[in-house]
Structure 1
Amino acid sequence: MNQLKDYIEWQAFGVCTALGEKMGIATTRIRMWFIYISFLTLGSPVVIYMIAAFWLNIKRYIFAARRNPLRYL
């Protein structure tokens, strides 16, 4: 059970961590509010979370391609 919790907290896209670092807010507080808002709005923030996760993944890919452009040809 702890392995699943660790994976979700540290590996699942990193959206809450990225928001926390940019805004200067604790990651746990962002996760808590995300859960509260998801329950109140019947899960619609999950769509926003997935869009943000996609955006962060594309951003990492583009940054990695800039550092080593020959690797992605």
Structure 2
Amino acid sequence: MKRLTDYIEEQSFGLCSALAQRWGFSKRSVRLSFVYASFFTFGSPIVLYFAGVFWMNIRRAMREQRSTVWDL
């Protein structure tokens, strides 16, 4: 059975999962670091989180729109 945090992450943005996969950390540790950093810096990592989500969605959209030589 999936944990609630995994379900929310997959259904919302997936940034923590993507960062964890890219950096080789567990998803849980990346999520916890965002939460702890938000508490200690009064929420500024939330702005970075949304900027990362925006960038990730732009890259995904660019990949889907890009046509290849074989698409005619």
Q: TM exceeds 0.5?
A: yes
Paired residue secondary structure (1:13): coil
Q: Aligned partners of 2:52, 2:40: CA distance in 1, in Å?
A: 20
Report the equivalent of 2:14: 14
With structure 1 as the length reference, what TM-score do the two structures score? 0.79
Judge conservation of contact 2:9–2:16 (CA < 8 Å) in 1.
no
Given the two structures, how large is their TM-score scaled by the length of structure 2? Answer: 0.80
Aligned-pair distance for 1:9? 2.3
In the alignment, structure 1 residue 48 sits paired with structure 2 residue 48? yes
Structure 1 or 2: larger helix share? 1
Matched residue type, 1:41: T
1:55 offset after TM fit, Å?
A: 0.2
Residues 5 and 29 of structure 1, relative CA distance in 2, 3 Å threshold: closer
Give the letter for the 1:46 counterpart. Answer: I
**Per-residue CA shift, 1:12-66, capped at 9, x if unaligned?**
2111011001100001110011101101111000000000000000000000001
Matched-pair contact (CA < 8 Å) for 2:20–2:27? yes
Give the number of aligned pairs: 66
C-alpha distance in 1 between matches for 2:39 and 2:65: 38
- Percent identical pairs in the alignment equals 45
SS in 2 for 1:22: helix
